[in-house]
Structure 1
Amino acid sequence: MRRSDRLSEIIEIVQDGRLHLARDIADRLEVSVRTIYRDFDTLVASGIPIEGERGVGYMLREPVFLPPMNLSLTELEALHLGMVIVSEAADTELQTAAASLTSKINKVATANGTVPKNWGFGVYPFAQAKIGFEHMPRIRSAIRSKEKLEIAYQSLGHQSTTRVVWPLQNAYWGRVWTMTCWCERRDDFRSFRIDRISDCHRTGRYFDDEGGKLFARYLDTVNVDLAQLPQRRP
């Protein structure tokens, strides 16, 4: 597994708000505990809001979701796509401007409007982030209309699956987007990297509030885990 993919996988693991031991993550990703320690040091130095220490455990204190602030989700997506294109241009002046705009947009890309120093870890080339943009209009529309989607997905372990999901929210992680949803196959909440979705179609079937399988319920679950953190022990 490439290091960039491993860093993404670590974020996916810790974003549930629970405390995770480095040795458990190392076993899951089939690397050494020392490697996981170095990865967490890299993520923290990049500004990802991860808290914890060696021998105790790690967690993502503040999920990085797109907020309803000055920019709509569609406007932010359009700016991000523009930065993808400009950053690959040969014009140095435009590349510098794109980097500056990235910094300004990142300042409104967290839940409370504040950003740790150096937030927006640059472990992904923009070309990778660009892959998933073709699916974004369909996903946005499905979130608004509560329409189920059928997606073909390739995991970081290169396993391909087809799933029916209830799309709930898009999240932005600094060049990489994920879709939070209810997965019918797993009967649970899941987050999928949009750039790893190879196919996405509408099903014509819709979901409602049954079973609390909505984004608010997902956030409630995360908040409960955070509230219980002081009592949790490795």
Structure 2
Amino acid sequence: MNALRGYSAQQVRDAEAPHLAAGEPLMARAAAALAAVCEELLTDQGLRLAHSRVLMLIGGGNNGGDALFAAAHLAKARVTVELVRTSSRVHEEGLAAALAAGSAMITDAPAKLAARAKSADLIVDGILGTGTSPDPRLRGDARELVAAIAPMVEERSGSPAVVAVDIPSGIHPDTGAVPDPAAVLHADVTVTFGGAKAGLLLEPARGFVGELRVHEIGLAADLEKLTPLVVIPGASSTE
């Protein structure tokens, strides 16, 4: 019987460590998987990539880096990609790649960004990942922006679709806690890497995850040696 296993953020980091030490391109693999999902969702809407627009919300962690390198993939495929920094610190190599490929940096106020998000074909949430603090709620400019976009996401019919990178920003990766639901975007698809994070399988976070897609980036054998925090018999994810 299939079972969906959910691991702690620390377990996933422990599984990644030897691969990162060996110089394996885990971020590149994650970014390629994310870009492929974005392209699929755009074409499923009947859009040509060259006629579509993606708004990417970029945080300062590794999932922000995943999003930036995915932005480079999409821009090379002639998608119009707009980047919104939600942190003063971002993955500089990923940012350089995204800009060099033709992505554009947008610096409007939150209200204008919310309007821009409404007219996008796809929104990518790459703000916070599994390296968050015990209280995962968004703060400052990031919270203001997401709180402005969230009502539009709730009311929409059709596009824009929302893709969460690794986890929807604002949920706890281990417990599934959602301390500030007004500032969390409901994802249509959550693309997570290596193994499912336990919090993605637990309420109330599960209600924000949408379709869960777990993409293997080389960690399967390492995670199989660990005892997951959550096991859901008879369930599976899309890979």
TM-score (norm: length of structure 1): 0.26
Larger RCO (CA within 8 A; separation ≥ 6) = 2
Larger CA Rg, structure 1 vs 2: 1
